[in-house]
Amino acid sequence: MLFTTKKVTIYTDGACKGNPGKGGWGAVLQYKHTTKEIYGGEEDTTNNRMELMAAIKALSSLKRHCDVDLYTDSKYVQQGINSWLENWKKRNWQTAAKKAVKNQDLWQKLDALCQKHTIHWHWVKGHSNHPLNDKADALANKGVEALK
């Protein structure tokens, strides 16, 4: 029996009202002709945590190994995954300045999820009228509003 890898496209975004403050995350997942939208929120959080949470929740919703194109407007997430993560792990979760990595708990969750999928990370400029990024942003704000 031949299994093919599902190709999934994901757009993620995080939002925060105050930093720290009430935060939300949102994601749009597309597989073939199906679109799924997810969102949520947390009290007393930061924008960076919500950006990470959006990617974590989106990848966690995948049921089996997928080939993923993941789009984020967060340089923090994109650079963290592509440039910083391996060195943080080598240095036992310390930065080059010998300080503890912020949001280590979420970076570790995201790292574990990255091992389950083939992920191609893409950065997209936020608030640039990209329909799916704008939708992820709207979902993240919906996550904040759901806390009220």
CA 127 to chain centre: 17
Q: Which candidate in 13, 23, 26, 40 is catalytic?
A: 13
Question: How far is the C-alpha of 16 from the C-alpha of 41, rounded, in Å?
Answer: 9
Q: Which candidate in 23, 40, 73, 117 is catalytic?
A: 73
Q: Which candidate in 14, 24, 26, 80 is catalytic?
A: 14
Question: How far is the C-alpha of 106 from the C-alpha of 2, rounded, in Å?
Answer: 35
Q: Which candidate in 42, 117, 137, 143 is catalytic?
A: 137
Question: How far is the C-alpha of 122 from the C-alpha of 103, rounded, in Å?
Answer: 21
If one counts every other C-beta atom within 10 angstroms of the C-beta of residue 25, the result is 30
Q: Which candidate in 65, 120, 122, 127 is catalytic?
A: 127
Task: Confirm whether 14 is a catalytic residue.
Answer: yes
Task: Confirm whether 137 is a catalytic residue.
Answer: yes
Q: Which candidate in 24, 41, 51, 117 is catalytic?
A: 51
Residues that are catalytic: 13-14, 51, 73, 127, 137
